[in-house]
């Protein structure tokens, strides 16, 4: 998709053929999602007489989404709007990486190691990161989480690698 | 009347046990603590704190969640007054005059009036809920599947009309949520739907995953992009108590705000936001000198804060009596109730009276505690507000991760949350509002079930929705609302309401 085009800041109006790119691409993506859901549900049985089958409601909602998504995309061609916003790289990548890291390590490595390194990766997502502070803060938060979730709330989480 | 009193007394006896009082206090305190953080609204707060209620009995868990909810609402207004950043959309209005008061060194009275107004509104709203619950529940028992379906349509349309931004895009978001809610097993036949035979998707997408991904994480991603210039009030807060003139000016505004909020809160849709805006507009219209507004008028804090709190409480009415969540926060409550094995709806009041009345009574206790804990703690909140964001967001992250993981002890849920964080980030970049999506997602299975049953009972005759009088009325109302919302002249007015000085 054509993300990243356009000015980074300000309320400038988009120029060119697509005058409201946020709506146009947004609507188009929803149309694609609707088509995908219709395709994914195409093998489900539909109406049996006057009784709904498992596929009826997904098709109904998917079809309506298709139609409204298309309308949004069309309105993106005839209205004026701001250009697409630039996507950040550092923040989303590192932040989401830390979430995935937590999912990968919580079982094999236990809460102590998993939480500490998850917090460290997340800390790097901000461009204001201060490393010494981040290490201390991650350690403090890890201890806090252990106290709260394991001792305070008795959640069945493992502490150390198994 | 006697019934009402005895029910309330019963509720108080449930809520006033030491354990429940403590839970209510903890909820209110933690809710405020998280709600005060700039950029964290009630929705994210409840999503984040959901895991701390897992181990509790259902009554205790709901009491605590309700406490978290008011705490978060109140914390949001504290942030609005002290930093000029609304913690949630309803607090936008509070920033207008509240922050001005704070700049004039009157943060104390502003916070106190917000607390007192909220407390008064909370007391009235509690009685309104108790009084309206029984009759509404009996109405609910008259509802058949067709009526339920139409009522949900009305609720969704309300949400669309009251959401800010494009009506069409809000409808799109609701449908997006509805399609997502179809993933999983079919209720009647058990056939797997849209799940690509992935075992983790057999039960559908977990509600908590969507809520935390789209509201918790996506919010962080967005906040990481903007450098916060926080305008924390530096002046030492002296003189907490409002003067006699302040009270005299604020009292009628609190009364009007309470009435307005109680009424608007019952409506499905974005109750709290619209009631805060409506109360502000009303106060400005009624004022002898409207120019004072936006320059630190105490009525501009008292009215909206009362309205917002009254509405946040009366919005429990549709949830508790009809089982239909009127706004995204209540949708989250449904998710929380489901985790504890409670199906919200008219049967809660008859089958689990201790839960129903206990929760209502605890609302009053919660409000009282908020007044007591918040006023002395203002200094602490101010200090908390100076904590830089780079220290705050890792905390949000790790709470959400542990919370999502421990719902099912499933790492897959954690990955799915990351995916929905990306979806939420994308939605914001394309100016789609995610709140209607969450509402659609929660209402999806309910809508399908009732639509299906209605069609089956009517033997496939789709006109059943317009031949049954109640259903027809609800649908006609929905159509009317939608038409009004897209009419150009009224649209312009509506946009003005949302833009006004915000």
What is chain B's length?
502
**pLDDT tens, position by position, B283-317:** 887 877 777 777 778 888 888 888 888 888 888 88
Top pLDDT among B160 and B500 is at B160
**pLDDT tens, position by position, B189-211:** 777 888 777 777 777 888 778 88
**What's the complex ipTM?**
0.87
- What's the confidence (pLDDT) of residue A136? 92
Whether A88 and B417 lie within 8 Å, measured CB to CB: no
**Alpha-carbon distance values, B450 to B143, B153, B251 (Å):** 11, 11, 45
Which residues are within 8 A (CB) of B229 and not within 5 positions of it... i.e. 6 or more apart? none
**pLDDT confidence band for A2 (50 / 70 / 90):** very low
- What's the confidence (pLDDT) of residue A3? 37
Tell me which chain B residues have a C-beta less than 8 angstroms from the C-beta of A27.
172
Tell me which chain B residues have a C-beta less than 8 angstroms from the C-beta of A64.
175, 178
Whether A37 and B182 lie within 8 Å, measured CB to CB: yes
Top-confidence range, A10-24, A110-124, B32-46, B215-229 = A110-124
Contact B274, B85 (CB under 8 A): no
Q: Which of B157, B194, B200, B445 to mutate to test the interface with A (most CBs of A within 10 A)?
A: B194
Q: Is the pLDDT of residue B268 over 80?
A: no
Which residues are within 8 A (CB) of B319 and not within 5 positions of it... i.e. 6 or more apart? B325, B326, B330, B333, B334, B344
Least Cα separation, residue B151 to chain A (angstroms): 18
Mean residue pLDDT of chain B comes to 80
**pLDDT confidence band for A96 (50 / 70 / 90):** very high
The whole-number average pLDDT for the span B346-366 is: 81
Whether B196 and A53 lie within 8 Å, measured CB to CB: no
Report the 10 Å Cβ neighbour count for A91.
22
Tell me which chain B residues have a C-beta less than 8 angstroms from the C-beta of A68.
168, 171-172, 175
Where along chain B do its domains lie? Answer: 2-230+251-499
- What's the confidence (pLDDT) of residue A70? 93
Residue in B with minimal Cα distance to A70 = B172
Whether B394 and A41 lie within 8 Å, measured CB to CB: no
- What's the confidence (pLDDT) of residue B21? 87
- What's the confidence (pLDDT) of residue A10? 43
Q: Look at residues B42, B12, B307 and name the one whose alpha carbon lies nearest to residue B130.
A: B12
Tell me which chain A residues have a C-beta less than 8 angstroms from the C-beta of B491.
none
Tell me which chain B residues have a C-beta less than 8 angstroms from the C-beta of A24.
none
- What's the confidence (pLDDT) of residue B102? 80
Least Cα separation, residue A51 to chain B (angstroms): 6
Least Cα separation, residue B197 to chain A (angstroms): 11
**pLDDT confidence band for B502 (50 / 70 / 90):** very low
Residue in A with minimal Cα distance to B175 = A65
Q: Token pair for residue B485?
A: 């919302």
**pLDDT confidence band for B483 (50 / 70 / 90):** confident
- What's the confidence (pLDDT) of residue B116? 86
Q: Is the pLDDT of residue B389 over 60?
A: yes
- Percent of chain A residues past pLDDT 90, beyond the cut: 32
Q: Token pair for residue B308?
A: 């917002």
Q: Is the pLDDT of residue A24 over 70?
A: yes
Top pLDDT among B16 and B150 is at B150
Put simply, whether A146 touches B (Cβ < 8 Å) is no
Whether B221 and A100 lie within 8 Å, measured CB to CB: no
Q: Is the pLDDT of residue B234 over 70?
A: no
Q: Look at residues B126, B103, B81 and name the one whose alpha carbon lies nearest to residue B300.
A: B81
**pLDDT confidence band for B73 (50 / 70 / 90):** confident
Rg (CA), chain B: 22
Report the 10 Å Cβ neighbour count for B248.
11
- What's the confidence (pLDDT) of residue B428? 85
Tell me which DSSP letter residue B309 carries: H
Q: Is the pLDDT of residue A98 over 50?
A: yes
Tell me which chain A residues have a C-beta less than 8 angstroms from the C-beta of B422.
92, 96
- CA B311 – CA B290 distance, rounded (Å): 25
Residue in A with minimal Cα distance to B176 = A65
**pLDDT tens, position by position, B94-136:** 877 888 888 777 778 888 888 888 889 988 888 888 888 778 7
Whether B394 and A141 lie within 8 Å, measured CB to CB: yes
Q: Look at residues B243, B256, B234 and name the one whose alpha carbon lies nearest to residue B110.
A: B243
Give residues 55 to 84 of A whose Cβ lies within 8 Å of B: 55-58, 61-62, 64-65, 68-69, 71-72, 75, 81, 84
DSSP letter for each residue of B404-448 = HHHHHT-HHHHHHHHHHHHHHHHHHHTT--SHHHHHHHHHHHHHH
Query: What's this model's pTM, rounded to 2 decimal places?
Result: 0.80
Q: Token pair for residue B273?
A: 């936001």
Give residues 20 to 49 of A whose Cβ lies within 8 Å of B: 22-23, 25-27, 29-30, 33-34, 37, 40-41, 44-45, 49
Report the 10 Å Cβ neighbour count for B18.
7
Least Cα separation, residue A53 to chain B (angstroms): 8
- What's the confidence (pLDDT) of residue A29? 92
- What's the confidence (pLDDT) of residue A30? 92
Least confident of A111-115, B106-110, B240-244: B240-244
**pLDDT tens, position by position, A78-91:** 888 788 877 878 88
The whole-number average pLDDT for the span B36-44 is: 71
Mean residue pLDDT of chain A comes to 83
Give, to the nearest 10 degrees, the angle between helix B469-486 and helix B167-181: 130
* CA dihedral of B406, B416, B172, A78, whole degrees rounded to 10: 140
């Amino acid at each position: 998709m054509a993300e990243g085009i356009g000015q980074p800041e300000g309320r400038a109006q988009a120029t060119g053929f697509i005058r409201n790119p946020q709506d146009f691409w947004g609507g188009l993506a929803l149309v694609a999602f609707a088509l995908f859901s219709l395709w994914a549900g195409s093998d489900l049985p539909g109406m049996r007489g006057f009784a709904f089958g498992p596929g009826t409601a997904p098709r109904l909602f998917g079809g309506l989404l298709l139609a409204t998504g298309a309308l949004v995309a069309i309105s993106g061609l005839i209205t004026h709007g701001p250009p697409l916003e630039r996507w950040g790289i550092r923040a989303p990548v590192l932040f989401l990486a830390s979430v995935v890291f937590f999912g990968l390590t919580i079982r094999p490595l236990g809460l102590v190691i998993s939480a500490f390194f998850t917090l460290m990766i997340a800390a790097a997502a901000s461009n204001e990161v201060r490393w010494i502070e981040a290490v201390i803060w991650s350690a403090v938060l890890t201890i806090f989480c252990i106290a709260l979730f394991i001792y305070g709330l008795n959640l069945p989480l493992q502490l150390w690698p198994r | 009347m006697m019934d009402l009193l005895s029910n309330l007394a019963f509720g108080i006896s449930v809520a006033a046990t030491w354990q429940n009082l403590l839970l209510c206090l903890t909820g209110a305190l933690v809710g405020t603590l998280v709600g005060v953080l700039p950029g964290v609204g009630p929705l994210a707060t409840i999503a984040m704190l959901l895991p701390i209620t897992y181990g509790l009995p259902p009554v205790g868990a709901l009491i605590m969640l309700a406490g978290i909810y008011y705490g978060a609402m109140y914390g949001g207004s504290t942030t609005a007054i002290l930093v000029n950043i609304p913690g949630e959309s309803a607090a936008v209005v509070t920033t207008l005059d509240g922050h001005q008061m704070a700049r004039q060194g009157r943060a104390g009275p502003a916070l106190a009036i917000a607390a007192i107004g909220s407390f008064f509104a909370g007391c009235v709203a509690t009685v309104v809920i108790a009084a309206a619950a029984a009759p509404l529940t009996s109405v609910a028992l008259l509802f058949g599947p067709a009526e339920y379906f139409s009522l949900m349509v009305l609720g969704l349309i309300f949400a669309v009309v009251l959401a800010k931004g494009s009506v069409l895009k809000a409808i799109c978001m609701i449908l997006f949520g509805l399609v997502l809610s179809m993933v999983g097993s079919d209720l009647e036949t058990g056939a797997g739907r849209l799940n690509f035979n992935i075992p983790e998707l057999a039960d559908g997408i977990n509600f908590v995953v969507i809520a935390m991904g789209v509201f918790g994480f996506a919010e962080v991603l967005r906040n990481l992009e903007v450098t916060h210039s926080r305008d924390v009030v530096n002046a030492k807060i002296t003189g907490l108590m409002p003067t006699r003139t302040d009270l005299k000016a604020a009292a009628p505004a609190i009364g009007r705000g309470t009435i307005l909020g109680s009424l608007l809160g019952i409506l499905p849709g974005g109750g709290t936001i619209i009631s805060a805006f409506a109360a502000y507009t009303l106060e400005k219209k009624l004022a002898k000198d409207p120019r004072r507004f936006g320059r630190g008028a105490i009525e501009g804090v008292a009215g909206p804060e009362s309205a917002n709190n009254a509405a946040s409480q009366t919005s429990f009415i549709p949830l508790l009596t009809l089982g239909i969540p009127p706004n995204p926060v209540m949708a989250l409550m449904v998710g929380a109730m489901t985790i504890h094995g409670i199906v919200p709806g008219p049967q809660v009041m008859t089958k689990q009276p201790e839960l129903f009345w206990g929760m209502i009574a605890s609302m009053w206790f919660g409000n009282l505690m908020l007044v007591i804990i918040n006023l002395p703690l203002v200094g602490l909140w101010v200090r908390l507000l100076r904590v830089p964001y780079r220290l705050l967001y890792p905390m949000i992250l790790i709470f959400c991760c542990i919370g999502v993981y421990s719902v099912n002890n499933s790492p897959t849920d954690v990955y799915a949350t990351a995916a929905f964080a990306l979806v939420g980030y994308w939605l914001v970049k394309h100016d789609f509002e995610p709140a209607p999506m969450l509402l659609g997602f929660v209402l999806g299975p309910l809508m399908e079930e009732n639509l299906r049953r209605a069609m089956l009972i009517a033997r496939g005759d789709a006109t059943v929705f317009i031949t049954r009088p109640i259903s027809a009325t609800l649908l006609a109302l929905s159509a009317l609302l939608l038409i009004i919302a897209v009419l150009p002249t009224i649209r312009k007015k509506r946009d003005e309401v949302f833009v006004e000085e915000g």
